[in-house]
């Protein structure tokens, strides 16, 4: 076990690798998409590194921010500047027939280590069941990079069909598919994905999903169910900084996962807090 100093005045904690964070900056070299509302504040890698250092988080997986849509240049620049701290997950337009080739270039030229797609529930995201998915999922499998999926419960059966077709592909379900503990209609669909050995789940967003206050006991009951089905080796934590800061501070998120996973053994906590992420996105620790 690797140990380090956690929060100031706090007890030492085990190694932590954050599996999901966004960065952006108002920079004319890397303009925001005109299709998206520009954020009114910056969330730079330097700001993030200060938080990581103060809270004992050694490495972080950066996910392309949607304000840039399919333009991954800003994140590619961050990865080139700080390869010792970050790896990156890109986005490509899932409705573009050229998306697989774009993905190959992002991986081979810019060093991206994963793809994110976001098939939400509304009809405009019906592309998840369309003909362009097969070549994109196959290209991920060929490149040996994980497919990370931000979705809602209603899409899980369709996603299950794609997983069935590409069993060799690592698939990561973001934020527990945003299934709320007061709306369990699709929890069985999420739990059923445990039958595929290369499916993983980020146990993130309890602050958004819970109907209770910190430390969100209703969501932790759901996390226990995920643990029973998937085991610690296929679960990972995340801060989702800075999106999460509208509800909870970064240091409190670290505290939440570091100190409130009491139903897990020390070995299982190590797994959730860094070993699972390290297995999918190797940082060389």
Q: Kindly report, residue by residue over 90-124, the tens digit of the pLDDT.
A: 999 999 999 999 999 999 999 999 999 999 999 99
- Judge whether 46 lies within some domain: yes
Going by pLDDT thresholds of 50, 70 and 90, the confidence category of residue 10 is very low
Whether residue 237 has pLDDT greater than 70: yes
pLDDT reported for residue 13: 61
Q: What is the edge-to-edge ordering of all strands in the sheet holding 199-202?
A: 115-117, 147-149, 171-173, 199-202, 235-236
| E-only strand ranges, the chain | 3-4, 13-14, 16-21, 57-63, 86-89, 115-117, 147-149, 171-173, 199-202, 235-236
Which is it for strands 86-89 and 115-117: parallel, antiparallel or unpaired? unpaired
Q: CB–CB of 164/193 below 8 Å?
A: no
Q: Kindly report, residue by residue over 204-213, the tens digit of the pLDDT.
A: 999 999 999 9
Q: CB–CB of 182/211 below 8 Å?
A: yes
User: What crossing angle do the helices spanning 133-143 and 156-165 adopt, rounded to 10°?
Assistant: 50
Q: CB 34: neighbour CB atoms within 10 A?
A: 7
Whether residue 285 has pLDDT greater than 80: no
Alpha-carbon distance of 127 to 94, in angstroms, equals 7
What are the distances in angstroms from CA 192 to CA 118, 144, 182, 195, 226? 20, 24, 19, 6, 10
With a CB cutoff of 8 Å and minimum separation 6, the contacts of 161 are: none
Whether residue 81 has pLDDT greater than 80: yes
Whether residue 249 has pLDDT greater than 80: yes
Q: Is 93 helix (H, G, I), strand (E, B) or coil?
A: coil
Domains in the chain, number: 1
Q: Which domain holds residue 232?
A: 3-280
Q: Sign (positive/negative) of CA torsion 269, 118, 180, 6?
A: positive
pLDDT reported for residue 9: 35
Q: How wide is the angle at C-alpha 248 spanned by C-alphas 243 and 252, nearest 5°?
A: 120
- Judge whether 285 lies within some domain: no
Q: Sign (positive/negative) of CA torsion 126, 90, 140, 238?
A: negative
DSSP 272: I
Tell me, what CATH number does 134's domain have? 3.20.20.140
pLDDT reported for residue 38: 93
pLDDT reported for residue 12: 44
With a CB cutoff of 8 Å and minimum separation 6, the contacts of 176 are: 190, 201, 202, 203, 204, 205, 209, 222, 223, 226
Q: Kindly report, residue by residue over 39-70, the tens digit of the pLDDT.
A: 999 999 999 999 999 999 999 999 999 999 99
């Amino acid at each position: 076990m690797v140990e380090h100093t956690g929060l100031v005045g706090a007890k030492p904690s085990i190694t932590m690798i954050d599996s999901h964070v966004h960065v952006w900056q108002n920079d004319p070299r890397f303009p925001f998409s005109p299709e998206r509302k520009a954020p009114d504040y910056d969330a730079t890698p330097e700001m993030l590194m200060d938080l990581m250092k103060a809270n004992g988080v050694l490495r972080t997986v950066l996910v392309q921010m949607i304000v840039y849509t399919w333009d991954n240049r800003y994140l590619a620049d961050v990865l080139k500047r700080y390869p010792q701290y970050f790896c990156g997950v890109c986005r490509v337009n899932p409705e573009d027939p050229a998306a697989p080739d774009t993905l190959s270039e992002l991986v081979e030229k810019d060093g991206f280590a994963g793809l994110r797609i976001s098939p939400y529930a509304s009809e405009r995201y019906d592309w998840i069941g369309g003909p362009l998915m097969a070549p994109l999922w196959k290209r991920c499998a060929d490149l040996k990079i994980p497919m990370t999926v931000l979705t809602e419960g209603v899409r899980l059966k369709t996603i299950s069909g794609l997983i069935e077709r590409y069993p060799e592909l690592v698939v990561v379900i973001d934020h527990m598919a945003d299934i709320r503990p007061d709306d369990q209609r699709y929890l069985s669909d999420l739990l059923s994905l445990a039958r595929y050995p290369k499916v993983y789940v980020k146990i993130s967003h309890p602050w958004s999903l819970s109907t209770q206050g910190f430390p969100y006991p209703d969501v932790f009951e759901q996390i226990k169910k995920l643990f029973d089905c998937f085991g610690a080796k296929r679960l990972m934590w995340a801060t989702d900084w800075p999106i999460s800061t509208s509800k909870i501070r970064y240091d409190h998120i670290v505290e939440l996962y570091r100190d409130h996973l009491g139903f897990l053994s020390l070995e299982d906590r190590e797994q959730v807090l860094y070993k699972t992420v390290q297995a999918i996105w190797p940082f060389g620790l």
